[in-house]
Amino acid sequence: MTAAPDEFALIAELFAPLSSGYPGALGLTDDAAIIGECAGSEIIITVDAIVAGVHFFSDDPADLVARKLIRVNLSDLAAKGARPFAVLLAAAFPIDVGREWLEGFAAGLRQDLERWGVALIGGDTVATPGPLTLSLTALGRAGPGGMVRRSGGRAGDTLWVSGTIGDGALGLKVLRGELAGLSPDHATALVGRYRLPEPRVELGRELAGLVHAGMDVSDGLDQDLGHLCRASGVAATIEAALVPLSPAARAALLRDRSLLASLLQGGDDYELLFAAPASAEPALRNAATAVGVPITPIGRLAEGEGVRVVDESGAELALSSGGWRHFRGV
């Protein structure tokens, strides 16, 4: 038997060819596809699935599972500068799921759908002998300049990220009992970021029109930046010391320097990564201030290919494990 390709090779080799003839699919190299235009706005679509035991713990509160499902999808729309307006839910519930759990799940859906003014417009409901598996398809309206692509980055652009990086990955470590010695407040903050990411919907809207390229960071900063670079045909260098960390992540890193790789590669950030010309800096900072989400320059795009992470002296850091992939190939 031939080994299965890893997730990205699988998509590139076996699925991307099936998108040919549909330009809005962007060759399956972006966070969302463009399916049409309505009143001058591009309508874009994205889908993400989450699975018990992979993306959340099977005993996580039902409402938080629902809200994470919505948020990981809204994060993709946010990165494209789009305003979400509708979702479809395909749910495979374990056969023994109870009514109470389902009510909690529906309450969580309601809470976040109302927060972002989004309607549930369809879906499918099945029972499964396996783990709870949820897929959400989300639709959004891009801004006046069209969808922000991964492919627009240019050599010389500054690379920015929103919020802080690495908290979700550390939160997962806390839940797994792999991160001892943190204060209870810090541990709670990290777990909160893992369980309930904050999609940067309002920031994404503000950035559209100012940036050359953007995506959300869901599979690890290092790996996702690699996707942006490939789509844009450029190289990137980021300085590890510039990557914004929360107080909790800083405290964890102080105790154990080797956590740096987890922070940069771990995934579950759901922050925005974007590339913009240096001249856009004042407008970007104004936009970030307007929505109350910090943004930080972390590096630069250049001619070439590949992602380099360097320390303060410019020496390249070797990050060994790569980012999160569902199929690593066997």
Q: Which residues contact Mg ion by CB under 5 A?
A: 31, 76, 216
Nearest residue to the partner Mg ion, using Cβ:
31
- 80 token code pair: 């494209």
| Residue number closest to ligand ADP, CB atom | 31
**What is the closest distance, in whole angstroms, from the C-beta atom of residue 72 to Mg ion in the complex?**
9
> Which of Mg ion, ligand ADP, none does residue 48 bind (CB under 5 to 8 Å by kind)?
ligand ADP
Q: What is the closest distance, in whole angstroms, from the C-beta atom of residue 33 to Mg ion in the complex?
A: 12
The residue type at 247: P
CA 199 to each of CA 4, 35, 58, 147: distance values in angstroms, whole numbers, following the listed order: 32, 22, 23, 17
Residue reference for tokens 């105790």: 255
Nearer to ligand ADP, 15 or 22 (CB): 15
Closest CA to 265 of 327, 228, 218, 227: 218
Least distance CB 31 / ligand ADP (angstroms):
4
Residue 185 corresponds to which tokens in the numbers above?
Answer: 């407040």
Q: Is the dihedral of CA 71, 77, 82, 87 positive or negative?
A: negative
Task: Note whether 29 and 150 are within 8 A (CB).
Answer: yes
- For 269-293, the DSSP string reads --EEEEEE-GGGHHHHHHHHHHHT-
Closer of 67 and 186 to ligand ADP (Cβ): 67
- Minimum CB separation of residue 227 from Mg ion in Å reads 9
Which residues in this chain contact ligand ADP in the complex, by CB under 6 A? 11, 15, 28, 30-31, 48, 76, 218-219
Question: Contacts for 18-21 with beta carbons within 8 Å, 24 or more apart?
Answer: none
In angstroms, rounded to a whole number, what is the distance separating the alpha carbons of residues 23 and 66?
Answer: 32
Q: Which is nearer to ligand ADP, 46 or 262 (CB)?
A: 46
CB of 61 to Mg ion, least distance (A): 25
Nearest-approach distance from CB 49 to ligand ADP, in angstroms = 9
CB closer to ligand ADP, 48 vs 239: 48
Token representation of residue 268? 């579950």
Nearer CB in complex with ligand ADP: 80/186: 80
Question: Is the CB of residue 326 less than 8 Å from the CB of residue 10?
Answer: no
Least distance to Mg ion, CB of residue 140, Å: 13
One DSSP character per residue, 139-169 reads: EEE--TT-PPPSTT--TTPEEEEES-SSHHH
Nearer to Mg ion, 174 or 323 (CB): 323
Identity of the residue, 141 or 200, whose beta carbon is nearer to Mg ion in the bound complex: 200
